[in-house]
């Protein structure tokens, strides 16, 4: 007979050093003989933790309605930086390609210094964009949990908390990225598996302390079928948004081939492509962030006692 993790139950004794403790729990709860495995009523009623895939989807959409303003503000900043970086990248690549073709036709060597200078500028812009995107992702975790706990999301507190967890996220993210890269080099399938495992890495780092890599594996394998269903859905939405952005960018590129287009047309195409990509990416994050936080909560609730008030307490939400 499978056992569920214990579940929350009030009242609670005072916490140490005057800090309010997370709600305690009783249990473990074991379904009566002959009944199928399923969360008891407290889990079914939790605004963040769901008993099944349908409950996860509905909770994600409900939380998206409560948090879209705050997440939109975060993604607007990311979108502006994304627009600038991608416009710069697209323009530079088009100009570089045109210059290389002109140099080759004239029998000249390409300007390596210009190429390297452009690469360095793009690298610096990409690093800034990466850091800001991490802050937005970490802040969204707190925003979603606040909304689930029945509080008005505090954008300022979310950004401040995210900034404190930025460098741990960067460090663990580099390690996770290297693991994914090794998996891709060995075979594409292990790379996809590692990417699925580390989908909830930002939530793990934002909420918990300790070894985030091993924690992600433990959460993912706590209930493999449930984890796969949620991760696959999030990946599908992300890939779909990327395909739409690529199609629009491809159409814009055909309208102004770099080899024959004017400088103004090249810049315009790069700007349109970047704008479409930034808008689509920001829009889909309004749904993906709540769904990802809810997926993390679901994974964790299947291996240990958890409730939305406990998550709020761990994030320092009062």
Question: pLDDT category, 26, cuts 50, 70, 90?
Answer: very low
User: What does the buried/exposed string (b/e) look like for 33-55 if buried means 16 or more CB atoms within 10 Å of the residue's CB?
Assistant: eeeeeebeebbeebbbbbbeeeb
Residues 6+ apart with CB under 8 A from 149: 47, 308, 309, 311, 312, 317
Residues 6+ apart with CB under 8 A from 129: 78, 81, 82, 85
What radius of gyration, in Å, describes the C-alpha atoms of the chain?
23
> In whole angstroms, what is the distance from residue 245 CA to residue 56 CA?
27
Peptide bond into 187 cis (omega under 30): no
Tell whether the model's pLDDT for residue 260 goes beyond 70. no
131-180 pLDDT, tens digit per residue, is: 999 999 999 999 999 999 999 999 999 999 999 999 999 999 999 999 99
84-139 pLDDT, tens digit per residue, is: 887 777 777 667 666 666 666 666 766 666 666 667 777 777 888 899 999 999 99
Q: Give CA separation, 299 vs 3, 8, 137, 186, 224, in Å.
A: 15, 17, 19, 28, 9
Instruction: State the chain's mean pLDDT as an integer.
Output: 81
CB atoms within 10 A of CB 276: 20
Strand, coil or helix: 108: coil
> In whole angstroms, what is the distance from residue 152 CA to residue 81 CA?
27
């Amino acid at each position: 007979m499978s056992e569920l993790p214990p579940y929350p139950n009030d009242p609670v004794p005072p916490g140490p050093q005057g800090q309010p403790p997370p709600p305690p729990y009783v249990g473990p709860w074991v379904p009566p003989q002959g009944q199928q495995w399923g969360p008891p009523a407290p889990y079914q009623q939790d605004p963040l933790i769901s008993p099944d895939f349908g409950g996860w989807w509905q909770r994600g959409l409900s939380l998206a309605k409560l948090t879209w303003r705050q997440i939109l503000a975060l993604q607007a900043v990311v979108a502006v930086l994304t627009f600038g970086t991608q416009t710069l990248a697209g323009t530079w690549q088009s100009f570089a390609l045109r210059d290389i073709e002109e140099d080759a036709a004239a029998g000249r060597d390409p300007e390596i210094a210009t190429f390297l200078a452009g690469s360095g500028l793009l690298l610096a812009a990409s690093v800034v964009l990466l850091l800001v995107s991490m802050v937005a992702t970490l802040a969204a975790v707190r925003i979603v949990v606040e909304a689930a706990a029945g509080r008005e999301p505090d954008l300022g507190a979310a950004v401040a908390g995210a900034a404190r967890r930025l460098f741990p996220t960067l460090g663990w993210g580099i390690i996770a990225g290297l693991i994914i890269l090794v998996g891709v080099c060995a075979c594409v399938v292990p790379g996809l598996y590692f990417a699925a495992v580390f989908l909830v890495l930002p939530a793990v780092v934002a909420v918990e302390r300790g070894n985030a890599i091993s924690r992600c594996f433990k959460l993912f394998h706590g209930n493999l079928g449930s984890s796969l269903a949620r991760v696959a859905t999030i990946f599908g939405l992300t890939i779909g948004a990327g395909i739409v952005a690529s199609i629009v960018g491809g159409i814009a590129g055909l309208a102004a081939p770099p080899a024959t287009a004017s400088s103004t047309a090249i810049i315009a195409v790069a700007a349109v492509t970047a704008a479409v990509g930034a808008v689509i990416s920001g829009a889909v994050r309004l749904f993906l962030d709540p769904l990802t936080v809810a997926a993390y909560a679901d994974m964790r609730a299947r291996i240990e006692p958890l409730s939305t008030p406990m998550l709020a307490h761990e994030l320092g939400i009062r």
